A and B are shown apart, each in its own frame.
Chain A
């Protein structure tokens, strides 16, 4: 079935509100390569890196940081304290600063 009618509307305050931007910090040498963060990220922000780390495994790397909603599940499920997510502090280069 093809929906001809749009079932959602654009929120009225879209232009006023700026979405928080995520800053994902990965410490590749602490990673042991369990892949929980890649597998359980609800927005599929992370992917496997193509560079080996010190341990000889492929750590995760950020594929698309703009998709991240800062749910922090990757940081919460990481057994090795190798990944953390914070909100990006808006300085220069960050548009619509309020």
Chain B
């Protein structure tokens, strides 16, 4: 298997139903000689999973016969939820996590303040009801908000758009 194929199959420690490729944080895999350079991008500046991801990549590639692995970080362009692949979105939905909508597009000028709850149309991943409400914009990890369905009453996680 190529190094790129091995790296693409490594899963995210916080969202284990997604591979790093599904999540869109795997930016490049370069083979040279017996060495591999993997370039990843953090989802959030303080993402505590980066070290585990680095270890998982190094371990998977070592097991696949690539003993020399270097993991590099790239900050720019910054990760956006738009990079989560269609397959990744399907896997999130299948796991009961509502996938993100399109990331907000910035108009020129200052970042607008949002005082009300988010107006996004986010359907319930359990019953499919169209109307859900935000409980909190910050959930078990920085990348997920907590919402509740107004029909079935079930809370669910939503990957928030950045």
Is B truly associated with A? no
Binding site for B on A (CB under 8 A): none
Binding site for A on B (CB under 8 A): none
